Structure 1
Amino acid sequence: MYQSPTAEAEVAEELAAVRPGLLPRYRAELPGARAAVLTRLWRALAHEPLPWVTGRVHGAHSLALRLADGRTLHGPHADPYATGAHVTAVRLGRERHDDPARLMTGLAVPHATGFALELGHSVASLALSRAGADHPKEWPERDWEWEQRVVDGHPFHPNCRSRPGFSVAEQLAYGPEHHPVVELGTVAVPAAECLVSGDWPEELRAGEDVLLPVHPWQAAHVLKRSCDRWRSAHPLMALRTLALPGGPHVKTALSARLTSSVRDISTYSVGASAALSALATDLAARTDGLLHITRTLGAATAHSPDLAALLRESPEVYAGPGERVLPVAALTTTALPDSPAWLAAFARLALTVGLRLLDLGVALEAHGQNLLVILSADGTPVRLVYRDLADIRISPARLARHGITPPALAGRLITDDETALRRKLFGSLVAGALAGTAGSGPVLRAALAAAVPALPRTPDLAALLEGPVPAKALTLMRLSPDTPGDQWCSLPNPLVLEPGA
């Protein structure tokens, strides 16, 4: 039987050895971390198409889930767009559960044991992250400083801070919320054995070799070899992507499962990077200056997802005098989203840009990590920056309708399926970036209601307004390890949510 404190106790034991002064804060953060992960899990149980949930009974302020084995799970109303930690306990039969890992074990559904372990790690790592986070009140000046203010990770994934395979010492050394400086290394690979796309800089070449930047965790745990020291860098929200002072961002291979996916870099992504960057430059020029897309400067791989890297423009290059650029996920660390007018303006900007690109033929993965906003000196959202083209979707038919030559690519990025295109954008932007910034269904509804009248009427907008909002079924995906690819759920349209929902 799974014992709830296991992951928490393991972290406490390691912390006592490597940073004993942080232990009291870690222990104090554990109840809040359990509630934060439980809130995310309850949202998934309430809204995802889990095969063992056979019915949902909604009360005025409560929700009951009927399970296939005859039991009933009771909890509070589950706003699909709410963030935070408003669920402190649920009841399975007569047993009260305030620990998400113990709850999952008690449910005893297929693959629950492995997921329960992940949830336990998520709680412990989240408590550690909160214990180590110490942000100044003033606004940061550098982009990586904004990134490091995002402590809780994904706003809706129960594995919001799960970092299996990372010791406590490694989390403190590499987690952006702990403000470390990471020493990147390089591995020399004969150029004849590499695939290189774009311009690979001279400082990462040595004679007939290509020098591939390597994260120290990857070197120790996957490559199991030492690396030549290269440069110091600041880790960003994505952990494996780091900012070089005064230089580009470096996306490294990090073959660990963070949240849902193993974070490596495929040969496909390296090979497609130059064509995608060229397409992005063309598309950004068609948005009337509202969107910048960071260019991939160069990419290289030793034909292995475990040994590859991309060099990408820093979003800072697109900020003018007096402007700041920050990831959308960092907006909640400011007071800006508390203004209904500000949030409506931001929603209007984000939807205008997202729908424009979708109409042209590209669906962005515009969640709070990939999407950044440029703020004027007074905090007004003026432009957007998008980064990481590795998981967009491209419609050759839509591009052709606008006289744009589709890139010479095949594979997973290419589709003309309208459902797939709309899921990609709306699932990441509306159910992700905008919902995570709004923090609740009613607040999101108000922002969308104010923004929609100014949006161009397109079939894609009509689909958004008329139907439910697609969102990735993140828990279903973790409980379906034998089912490849994304799985989806449908969330109630925030524009027609019941008052108080």
Structure 2
Amino acid sequence: MERVDLIPPPGGADAAAPDDVGDLADAYAAAPLLNCLLREVARPLPGREGVHRLPGGDRLLRVRGGRRPTAPEVYTPRGWHRLDHTELVKLVAEELRRHTGLANHELPAEMSDSRDAVAAILTARARATPPEDPYLLSEQSLVTGHPHHPAPKARGGGPVAGWLPYAPEAHARFPLVLLGLREDTVVEEGDTSALDALGEPPPGYRLLPAHPWQLDLTARDLAPAFADGRLIRLGTTASPVWPTAAIRTVYAPERDLFLKFSLDVRITNDVRRLWRHDLLRLRRTDAATSRAFAGVTAAWLTDRGYRTAGFAFEELAVLVRDGLRGHLLPGATPFLAAGLAEGFTGSPLDGATDPARWWEAYLRQMVPPVLGAFARHGVVVEAHLQNSLVACDADGAPVQALFRDAEGVKLLPEVSRAAGWERLVYCLVVNHLVEVAGALAERHAGVDPWPAVRRELARHDLPEVAALLTAPTLPAKTNLLLRWTGADGADARYRPLPNPLLTGG
């Protein structure tokens, strides 16, 4: 009998035997790459389920599965040939060269790096102790990661030992390095007082926490500052922090505090620095978003301010973000939305006894605050899966939404209303609701999630909503083509995706 590699159900990856790691890594890494290829380049072959034509070379590709495609095969004169991950990367590269007329040697290496990173993560997870906190467990559940990116787990091509100790998917926790920053070199804006409580610097210095991975990456550039005393090492934090799904953002549970750092590593589309231009607009963007969320049940986790060194503005920047406890409704437990789509032990989506009602409650919490911020305040919240949390009551029912990351917020009229709405629809509907709806339908047979989405959207009196409900397509970001053509990481180019609001999914 032919074997088909399938991504295991939630929790299955953690129990993988060593001999299975290679096959599982192939399956995990192939799924998002195939999603990109099928969405952006290939075309379905009418009447042939799972078969697609690749226009670059006019070849046929066959896959199994739905939202996480598996078992890729290419048609040859000898029949269907099963592709391992190396062969899949080669096929994708050949198709994109023919399709775009451009060569790219960097992205195939990232695809392979992503697969190897998954293998290292799976091996580490098998012997790691997961967090007991269900919120942290949801943040550290993303073995697949971005479901429509060609290399979601690439870590810059560096050695595993350099990044694995800081990987959320490997259930990492670690202390931050505490630096003393000479006072005359400090640059800061907003409320950074939480940083001063992390330790005691000597006279003439201010405290600056640093991510140990970033210090390793920038060691050569920072060596002169350590040599002349602008920077000094003061040890580490007394308690470990937990990396969240964003990797460079960590949570300190004892202090209920999030800290976001620069990482000079390309993760998905961007090198993850805290860029100067984003930091300089942070206070205005965050203040506008905070006003948009005032007086509603949903919460905005405020980016309070940042501190850095004038001589290493982006490299050493640290952003201070609100924790959870001051925003959560009493008795509610938060979960990362991306974790619901990926799956983890104890997920409230999996445990819903009335999944249709659970989904209606989820939509009531998640959709109105995003549309309200846009309609009443001209704020475009980047409500994608990794920026959105849902808090559930003791029975697992959604009771509150929480959003984060002012860096991704767009304000009208800095962007046009049309561009802002397109970004909102991509983040909230395509990136977020499509994925959680797919997980719901996959885990609860017989549930059609889309009538409830239509009803929830129709409650909002926006001309854009009326058009959305009848539009033939939705905007889907083309991460594969963006990376292949070398577009700027902040670019957003879209291709039309059939609108599930018309067809019921």
TM-score, with structure 1 as normaliser: 0.81
**Are 1:43 and 2:35 an aligned pair?**
yes
Give the AA of the match of 2:485. Answer: S
1:329: Cα distance to partner?
A: 1.4
Q: Deviations 1:110-164 (Å, cap 9, x if unpaired)?
A: 3453222111111121122233325999994364343123333223223121112
Structure 2 unaligned spans of 5+: 1-13, 227-232
Give the AA of the match of 1:153. Answer: G
| Separation in 2, partners of 1:440, 1:328 | 11
**Are 1:302 and 2:309 an aligned pair?**
yes
Q: Given the alignment, which residue of 110, 114, 117 partners 2:106? A: 114
| Separation in 2, partners of 1:111, 1:23 | 40
**Paired residue for 1:354?**
370
Q: Deviations 1:91-121 (Å, cap 9, x if unpaired)?
A: 0545734334422323422345322211111
In structure 2, do the counterparts of structure 1 residues 206 and 292 end up closer, same or farther at CA, with 3 Å as the change threshold? farther
Q: Deviations 1:209-264 (Å, cap 9, x if unpaired)?
A: 44332111111122335743231311111111111232211101111011221111
Residues matched between the structures, number: 449
**Paired residue for 1:222?**
218
Counterpart of 1:312 in 2: which secondary structure? strand
Q: Given the alignment, which residue of 254, 260, 269 partners 1:260? A: 269
Whether contact under 8 Å (2:32, 2:146) holds in the other structure is no
Whether contact under 8 Å (1:365, 1:428) holds in the other structure is yes
| Separation in 1, partners of 2:211, 2:183 | 20
Whether contact under 8 Å (1:340, 1:447) holds in the other structure is yes
**Are 1:375 and 2:392 an aligned pair?**
yes
Q: Deviations 1:364-420 (Å, cap 9, x if unpaired)?
A: 111111100111111111111111110111114xxxxxxxxxxxxxxxxx21x2332
Q: Given the alignment, which residue of 207, 213, 235 partners 2:209? A: 213
Give the AA of the match of 1:57. Answer: L
1:30: Cα distance to partner?
A: 2.1
Q: Given the alignment, which residue of 490, 494, 501 partners 1:495? A: 501
| Separation in 1, partners of 2:55, 2:475 | 24
Deviates more, 1:96-105 or 1:417-426: 96-105
Give the AA of the match of 1:479. Answer: W
Q: Given the alignment, which residue of 466, 487, 494 partners 1:462? A: 466
Give the AA of the match of 2:425. Answer: F
Whether contact under 8 Å (1:63, 1:76) holds in the other structure is yes
Give the AA of the match of 1:239. Answer: I
| Separation in 2, partners of 1:464, 1:435 | 14
Deviates more, 1:209-218 or 1:365-374: 209-218
Q: Given the alignment, which residue of 408, 412, 419 partners 1:391? A: 408
In structure 2, do the counterparts of structure 1 residues 222 and 96 end up closer, same or farther at CA, with 3 Å as the change threshold? farther
Whether contact under 8 Å (1:71, 1:93) holds in the other structure is no
In structure 2, do the counterparts of structure 1 residues 142 and 91 end up closer, same or farther at CA, with 3 Å as the change threshold? closer
**Paired residue for 1:128?**
120
Q: Deviations 1:265-318 (Å, cap 9, x if unpaired)?
A: 0122222222233222211115x32x1001122212335322211011112332
In structure 2, do the counterparts of structure 1 residues 173 and 138 end up closer, same or farther at CA, with 3 Å as the change threshold? closer
Deviates more, 1:383-392 or 1:481-490: 481-490
Identity %: 24
Deviates more, 1:136-145 or 1:198-207: 136-145
1:441: Cα distance to partner?
A: 9.9
| Separation in 2, partners of 1:65, 1:153 | 26
| Separation in 2, partners of 1:116, 1:255 | 20
In structure 2, do the counterparts of structure 1 residues 496 and 159 end up closer, same or farther at CA, with 3 Å as the change threshold? same
**Are 1:437 and 2:436 an aligned pair?**
yes
Whether contact under 8 Å (1:135, 1:149) holds in the other structure is no
Structure 1 unaligned spans of 5+: 1-21, 397-413
Within-5 A mapping of 1:76-95: 76=63, 82=67, 84=68, 86-91=69-74, 93-94=76-77
| Separation in 1, partners of 2:85, 2:28 | 9
**Paired residue for 1:451?**
453
**Are 1:319 and 2:328 an aligned pair?**
yes
**Paired residue for 1:236?**
244
Give the AA of the match of 2:474. Answer: V
Q: Given the alignment, which residue of 349, 357, 369 partners 1:337? A: 349
1:24: Cα distance to partner?
A: 8.3
Q: Given the alignment, which residue of 95, 99, 109 partners 2:84? A: 99
